[in-house]
Chains A and B, each alone.
Chain A
Amino acid sequence: DVKVTQSSRYLVKRTGEKVFLECVQDMDHENMFWYRQDPGLGLRLIYFSYDVKMKEKGDIPEGYSVSREKKERFSLILESASTNQTSMYLCASRDPSTNEKLFFGSGTQLSVL
């Protein structure tokens, strides 16, 4: 089975801090995604990457950046954390040659105080 691992299950940060959320997948998938999940809003796409060194803005990229230096790792960066970025962050990967199915990590619950 595909495994998508997010480095932290819970994070508490202060406003203005730079925050790194790490995600690693072990199935050599080309595509990787970052979503945030908020009650009543569902999953919203922040950034995605179709391959190493590539990145594309999703629906809500403001306040975030990403890094994809290696195929298996996709990092989400909050340059200066704000309270409205308190959320559950979900990383996912996909093999585009097989189907559209996304494989998700367990999520990181980030609280910005």
Chain B
Amino acid sequence: GESVGLHLPTLSVQEGDNSIINCAYSNSASDYFIWYKQESGKGPQFIIDIRSNMDKRQGQRVTVLLNKTVKHLSLQIAATQPGDSAVYFCAEKGTDKLIFGTGTRLQVFP
């Protein structure tokens, strides 16, 4: 069956450094991927998405990379700030629904 996982449950980075959060997916037929950020006590907030016909997509301080060969997705956050502290999770769309990963907690320390 489909599964979406994360390599690291917790990532600690220093303020100003770049962060890389990874995600593995198992369904090679998935054609859409999305990253969400969830701050404590809040609902998930959309960050960036990418379709399978692309390898890279950039937003404001964030970049998503898609490697279909190894079924790997990553979220890169440039110049990480304290406000980036949150749980980040990816999701893939295989058939008609999004399948969510369990999340990685990003901790930013001064």
Contact = CB atoms under 8 A, between A and B. Distances in A.
Contacts of A48: 97
B43 A101 contact: no
Contacts, number: 43
Nearest to A105: B43
Interface string B72-110: 000000000000000001000100011011110000000
B interface bracket (residues with beta carbon within 8 Å of A): 10 to 19
Given A90-B43, A90-B44, A100 B93 contact: yes
A107 to B, nearest CB: 5
A104 B44 contact: yes
Interface residues of A, number: 18
B46 A41 contact: no
Interface of A: 4, 40-43, 45, 48, 58, 90, 99-107
Interface of B: 4, 32, 34, 36, 41-46, 49, 89, 93, 97-98, 100-103
21 contacts: A4-B43, A41-B102, A42-B101, A42-B102, A42-B103, A43-B44, A43-B89, A48-B97, A58-B97, A90-B43, A100-B32, A100-B49, A101-B34, A102-B46, A102-B98, A103-B46, A104-B45, A105-B43, A106-B41, A107-B42, A107-B43
